[in-house]
Structure 1
Amino acid sequence: MITTGLIYNPPLASRLVVSFASFPHLSTVCLAHAIAKRVEGLDTYTWNNIIRGYLDGNHPKEAVLIYSHVRSKGGVDSYTLQFAIKACVLMQAILEGKQMHGQCFKLGFASEIIVQTVLLSMYSLFGELACMQQVFDETPHRDLVMWNSILAAYAQNNFPYQTLAFTRAMVSSGVRLNGVSLVSVLSSCSSLKAIQEGKEIHGYVIRNLIYMDVILYNAFINMYSKCGSLSNAERIFQMMPIRNVVSWTSMIDGYRYNNCLIEAIHLFKGLECENIRLDEVTMLCIISMCAKPGSFELVDWIDHHVEKNGIGKGSITISNALMDMHAKCGNIQKACQIFNGIVEKTLVSWTTIIHGLAMNGQGKPAFLRFCQMQREGYKPDKIVFLSVLSACSHTGMVDEGLKCFSSMINDYHINPLMEHYGCIVDLLCRAGLINEAFEFVKNMQDKPDTIIWRMLLVACRSQRDISLAKQIMHYFNEMGPENVEDYGLLSNLYAMVDQWDNVEEIRKEMKVGRMVKKLPGYSAI
Structure 2
Amino acid sequence: MITTGLIQYPPSASKLVASFALSNFSGTTSTARSIAERVRGRNSYTWNTIIRGFLEENKPEDAFSVYSYVRKKALPVDSYTLMFVTKACGLITLSLGEQVHAQICKMGFVFEIIIQTALLGLYALFGVLSDMQQMFDEMPHRDIVTWNALIAAYAQHGSHFKVLELLRAMMNDSLGPNEKTVVSILSAFSSLKGLREGKVVHCYVVKSIVNLDVFVYNALIGMYSKCGNLPCALRIFQLMPVRNVVSWTLMINGCCDNNFPNEGLDLFKEMECENVKPDAITMISVVSMCSKLGSFELGEWIDQYVEKSGLANESVSLANALIDMHAKCGNIKKACQVFDGIVEKTLVSWNSIIHGLAVHGQGISALVRFSQMLREGFEPDDIVFLSILSACSHAGLVDEGQKCFHSMIKDYHLEPWLEHYACMVDLLCRAGLINEAFEFIVNMPVNPNTIMLRILLKACQNHGDIVIANQVMNYLYELGPKSKEDYLVLSNFYATVSKWDVVDEVRKEMKVKGLAIRDPGCSSIELKEEIG
- 1:186 Cα deviation after fit: 1.9
User: Residues 261 and 293 of structure 2 are in contact (CA less than 8 Å); yes or no, is this contact kept in structure 1?
Assistant: no
Mind listing any 5+ residue stretches in structure 2 that lack a counterpart?
Answer: 523-532
What TM-score, normalized by structure 2, do the two folds share?
0.79
- 1:434 Cα deviation after fit: 4.2
- 1:289 Cα deviation after fit: 0.8
Give me the whole-angstrom Cα distance separating, in 2, the residues matched to 1:163 and 1:412. 38
Deviations 1:446-498 (A, max 9, x none): 6765645665565566566677667768878998x885776886787678668
Q: Against the structure 1 CA distance between its residues 2 and 258, is the aligned structure 2 distance closer, same or farther, given a 3 Å change threshold?
A: closer
User: Residues 55 and 63 of structure 1 are in contact (CA less than 8 Å); yes or no, is this contact kept in structure 2?
Assistant: no
User: Residues 70 and 76 of structure 2 are in contact (CA less than 8 Å); yes or no, is this contact kept in structure 1?
Assistant: no
Give me the whole-angstrom Cα distance separating, in 2, the residues matched to 1:8 and 1:274. 53
- 1:67 Cα deviation after fit: 4.2
User: Residues 409 and 415 of structure 1 are in contact (CA less than 8 Å); yes or no, is this contact kept in structure 2?
Assistant: yes
Deviations 1:29-83 (A, max 9, x none): 55357448xx7x9766665556545545514276168449728959665444433
Q: Against the structure 1 CA distance between its residues 203 and 475, is the aligned structure 2 distance closer, same or farther, given a 3 Å change threshold?
A: same
Give me the whole-angstrom Cα distance separating, in 2, the residues matched to 1:6 and 1:211. 47
Alignment-derived partner of residue 383 in structure 2: 383
Deviations 1:309-360 (A, max 9, x none): 5463645554443332221122323333444555665544433222112112
Deviations 1:373-430 (A, max 9, x none): 4445554443332211101011110111122233334444544433333322322233
Give me the whole-angstrom Cα distance separating, in 2, the residues matched to 1:521 and 1:399. 42
Moved more, 214-223 or 366-375: 366-375
- 1:222 Cα deviation after fit: 2.2
Q: Against the structure 1 CA distance between its residues 82 and 244, is the aligned structure 2 distance closer, same or farther, given a 3 Å change threshold?
A: closer
Give me the whole-angstrom Cα distance separating, in 2, the residues matched to 1:478 and 1:89. 56
Alignment-derived partner of residue 267 in structure 1: 267
Give me the whole-angstrom Cα distance separating, in 1, the residues matched to 2:145 and 2:77. 24
User: Residues 438 and 456 of structure 2 are in contact (CA less than 8 Å); yes or no, is this contact kept in structure 1?
Assistant: yes
User: Residues 21 and 49 of structure 1 are in contact (CA less than 8 Å); yes or no, is this contact kept in structure 2?
Assistant: no
- The secondary structure found in structure 2 opposite 1:291 is helix
Deviations 1:162-189 (A, max 9, x none): 2233233333433232222222222222
Q: Against the structure 1 CA distance between its residues 190 and 26, is the aligned structure 2 distance closer, same or farther, given a 3 Å change threshold?
A: same
Q: Letter of the aligned partner of 1:422 in structure 2?
A: A
Q: Letter of the aligned partner of 2:402 in structure 1?
A: L
Alignment-derived partner of residue 83 in structure 1: 84
Q: Letter of the aligned partner of 2:353 in structure 1?
A: I
User: Residues 6 and 12 of structure 1 are in contact (CA less than 8 Å); yes or no, is this contact kept in structure 2?
Assistant: no
Alignment-derived partner of residue 526 in structure 2: none
Identity of aligned residues (%): 52
Q: Against the structure 1 CA distance between its residues 442 and 60, is the aligned structure 2 distance closer, same or farther, given a 3 Å change threshold?
A: farther
Alignment of 1:44-59 (within 5 A): 48=48, 51-52=51-52, 54-57=54-57, 58-59=59-60
Alignment-derived partner of residue 364 in structure 1: 364
What TM-score, normalized by structure 1, do the two folds share?
0.79
Alignment of 1:277-426 (within 5 A): 277-292=277-292, 294-303=294-303, 305-306=305-306, 310=309, 312=311, 314-315=313-314, 316-340=316-340, 345-426=345-426
Alignment-derived partner of residue 218 in structure 2: 218
- 1:520 Cα deviation after fit: 6.7
- 1:28 is aligned to 2:27: no
Deviations 1:266-316 (A, max 9, x none): 333322322333333333322211213553453354456556x54636455
Mind listing any 5+ residue stretches in structure 1 that lack a counterpart?
Answer: none
Alignment of 1:446-461 (within 5 A): 451-452=451-452, 455-456=455-456, 459=459
Give me the whole-angstrom Cα distance separating, in 2, the residues matched to 1:282 and 1:294. 19
Q: Against the structure 1 CA distance between its residues 377 and 42, is the aligned structure 2 distance closer, same or farther, given a 3 Å change threshold?
A: same
Give me the whole-angstrom Cα distance separating, in 2, the residues matched to 1:442 and 1:331. 40
Q: Letter of the aligned partner of 2:83 in structure 1?
A: Q
- The secondary structure found in structure 1 opposite 2:278 is coil
Q: Letter of the aligned partner of 1:31 in structure 2?
A: S
Q: CA RMSD in A?
A: 4.5
Alignment-derived partner of residue 144 in structure 1: 144
Alignment-derived partner of residue 63 in structure 1: 64
Give me the whole-angstrom Cα distance separating, in 1, the residues matched to 2:140 and 2:452. 55
User: Residues 160 and 191 of structure 1 are in contact (CA less than 8 Å); yes or no, is this contact kept in structure 2?
Assistant: yes
Q: Letter of the aligned partner of 2:177 in structure 1?
A: L
User: Residues 358 and 390 of structure 2 are in contact (CA less than 8 Å); yes or no, is this contact kept in structure 1?
Assistant: yes
Moved more, 456-465 or 469-478: 469-478
Q: Letter of the aligned partner of 1:238 in structure 2?
A: Q
Give me the whole-angstrom Cα distance separating, in 2, the residues matched to 1:86 and 1:289. 39
Alignment of 1:50-129 (within 5 A): 51-52=51-52, 54-57=54-57, 58-60=59-61, 63=64, 66-67=67-68, 70=71, 77-91=78-92, 93-129=93-129
User: Residues 67 and 80 of structure 1 are in contact (CA less than 8 Å); yes or no, is this contact kept in structure 2?
Assistant: no
User: Residues 291 and 325 of structure 2 are in contact (CA less than 8 Å); yes or no, is this contact kept in structure 1?
Assistant: yes
Q: How many residues align?
A: 515
Give me the whole-angstrom Cα distance separating, in 2, the residues matched to 1:117 and 1:213. 23
